[in-house]
A = this chain, B = another copy of it.
Amino acid sequence: MAKTNITPREKDYSQWYLDIVEEAGMAENSGVRGCMVIKPHGYAIWELIQAAMDKRIKETGHVNAYFPLLIPKSYLMKEAEHVEGFAPEVAEVTRAGGEELAEPYVIRPTSETIIGATYAKWIKSWRDLPVLVNQWANVMRWEMRTRPFLRTSEFLWQEGHTAHATEDEAERETLMILHDVYTDVVERVMAIPVLRGLKTENEKFAGALRTYAIEALMQDGKALQAGTSHNLGQNFARSFEIKYTTPDNREEFCWTTSWGVSTRLVGALIMAHSDDDGLVLPPQVAPVQVVVVPIFKNEEERAQVMEVVNRITSDWRDRFRWKLDERDHVSPGFKFNEWEVKGVPVRVEVGMKDVAKGTVAVARRDVPGREGKSFVEQKGLTERITALLVEIQQSLFDRALRFREEHTFEAETYEDFKTKVERGFVRVYFDGTGEDEDKIKADTKATVRVLPFDQPEEEGVCFYTGRKTKRQAIFARSY
């Protein structure tokens, strides 16, 4: 019998992902098409990601607020590119309180329009700027093909919306969020390395001047867009009349930005670190960082084992998120397995041998099997585990980074590109048009993930057009 009900990655990556979502108790389908129930374990991980994001969003000067779920359909129509991008996938409220509505509302697919209409009221003078607001909310985009966390009709996210006096300031905000908030959380808290850069016109947000993104590589060699930050230019300011008076009394349109990360990050977390035994969680986003499993055969042994357990855990309350698994109707082996599937970074086992020797067994989730298990003195255990959690966090990042490096390629010809892009990121000289991007996508399913910030000094030959160019792009297939 297999240790778990999880399909091996090698056999069927997509099923492996779904199996982990189910077996680790992360989410499940609901009776509502394309909408998931986020189960307690999945939600607890999201809460930790949220807390890390919220802290940084506030530290960088933003405040939270809340705007309506419903948006008058006419608002959506005001920005030409925006409506083209979002109108096909909105859910519409046409009846309420038992009556047909004169004008339908849409459930927000994103809130630029309703927030734009609000900012037009809030902002009068240069003294009112910048406006730096964030919202935690649910949004709805009617999706045909869904997958838990990665693509669902309803999802949870934060959306930042800021207004500035100058283009330069808006651009700095857009990049600051990308670097200091999103990259910092995804790399240091979630232990997932990201590539950063600009989106092409084809891939940018509907209504933006420029979109920047962080992109992570999953274990099947596909990219996942983990966060985006948009310089909206004056597009929404013009559509919604967001204007301010300058110190010398001229009237100007504001420059606005928006930026978001969503419950999609939970999907990224699963796919970046997990293995065939289940979820693997970096300690910083693990709802349970340490689980203690006492092992005994009778009441007498139980008393001795629990005495040790109580002693070693006496100062853990403010140190770790930890849990004691005292269930008596399942075996220790069953417990080990269950906590492994749920991705708990460290497991501590205490049995009669440990009572006698003054030790405990410590197992690392990130190093499966015997190799990750060691016997540790009870004395000084708290410090050992503290250090171990830091080590695991770093080790997961390093492993993911190594994987990405091994799966990042260069290509000089389209033939070469086609083979390599099946396995990861491909960095190429590229001066093709949006139409070229479409053709490449039709051929290979790959798109430009970013035009990376670190562009070359030297000219090279475009892998697709054969023309000389200084522009490099990073392609991949993506979620």
Residues of A within 8 A of B (CB): 28, 30-32, 35-40, 43-44, 46-47, 63-72, 75, 88-98, 104-105, 107, 114, 117-118, 121, 127, 133, 137-138, 140, 142, 144, 154, 156, 329
Q: Copy number of this protein in the oligomer?
A: 2
From known contacts A44-B64, A64-B44, A95-B94, infer whether A118 and B72 are also in contact, taking CB-CB under 8 Å: no
- 21 pairs of residues in contact across A and B, judged by CB atoms under 8 Å: A30-B67, A30-B118, A32-B68, A32-B72, A35-B69, A37-B118, A38-B66, A43-B66, A69-B69, A69-B107, A69-B140, A88-B97, A89-B97, A91-B95, A93-B93, A93-B94, A94-B95, A95-B104, A97-B142, A127-B329, A138-B138
Question: Besides A38-B65, A69-B154, 4 other CB < 8 A contacts?
Answer: A40-B63, A43-B65, A91-B105, A138-B138
Q: Are B105 and A96 in contact (CB under 8 A)?
A: no
Q: Are B97 and A144 in contact (CB under 8 A)?
A: yes
Q: Could you say which of B36, B63, B96 contacts A91, with CB atoms under 8 Å apart? A: B96
Q: Are B65 and A39 in contact (CB under 8 A)?
A: yes
The residue in chain B whose Cβ has the minimal distance to the Cβ of A70 is B32
Q: Are B44 and A63 in contact (CB under 8 A)?
A: yes
CA distance A92 to B92 in the complex (A): 8
B-side contacts of A66, CB under 8 Å = 37-38, 43, 46, 156
Q: Are A70 and B154 in contact (CB under 8 A)?
A: yes
B-side contacts of A38, CB under 8 Å = 65-67
CA distance A145 to B94 in the complex (A): 20
B-side contacts of A68, CB under 8 Å = 30, 32, 35-37, 154
CA distance A405 to B188 in the complex (A): 54
Q: Are A64 and B43 in contact (CB under 8 A)?
A: yes
The residue in chain B whose Cβ has the minimal distance to the Cβ of A263 is B66
Question: In the complex, what's the smallest C-beta–C-beta distance from A455 to chain B, in angstroms?
Answer: 38
B-side contacts of A127, CB under 8 Å = 329
Q: Are B92 and A93 in contact (CB under 8 A)?
A: yes
B-side contacts of A37, CB under 8 Å = 65-68, 118
The residue in chain B whose Cβ has the minimal distance to the Cβ of A330 is B127
Q: Are B133 and A40 in contact (CB under 8 A)?
A: yes
The residue in chain B whose Cβ has the minimal distance to the Cβ of A117 is B31
B-side contacts of A156, CB under 8 Å = 66
B-side contacts of A114, CB under 8 Å = 30-32
From known contacts A40-B133, A114-B30, infer whether A94 and B97 are also in contact, taking CB-CB under 8 Å: no
CA distance A114 to B154 in the complex (A): 15
CA distance A71 to B37 in the complex (A): 12
B-side contacts of A133, CB under 8 Å = 40
CA distance A431 to B474 in the complex (A): 77
From known contacts A65-B39, A65-B43, infer whether A88 and B98 are also in contact, taking CB-CB under 8 Å: yes
B-side contacts of A121, CB under 8 Å = 28
Q: Are A94 and B96 in contact (CB under 8 A)?
A: no
Q: Which 6 A-B pairs give the minimum distances between C-beta atoms?
A: A97-B142, A35-B68, A91-B96, A40-B63, A38-B66, A92-B95
B-side contacts of A90, CB under 8 Å = 96-97
From known contacts A65-B43, A66-B156, A117-B31, infer whether A91 and B91 are also in contact, taking CB-CB under 8 Å: no
CA distance A94 to B101 in the complex (A): 12
B-side contacts of A31, CB under 8 Å = 72, 75, 114, 117
Q: Are B64 and A40 in contact (CB under 8 A)?
A: yes
The residue in chain B whose Cβ has the minimal distance to the Cβ of A154 is B69
Q: Are A92 and B88 in contact (CB under 8 A)?
A: no
Q: Are A32 and B105 in contact (CB under 8 A)?
A: yes
The residue in chain B whose Cβ has the minimal distance to the Cβ of A156 is B66
Q: Are B93 and A91 in contact (CB under 8 A)?
A: yes
Q: Are A32 and B71 in contact (CB under 8 A)?
A: yes
B-side contacts of A140, CB under 8 Å = 69-70
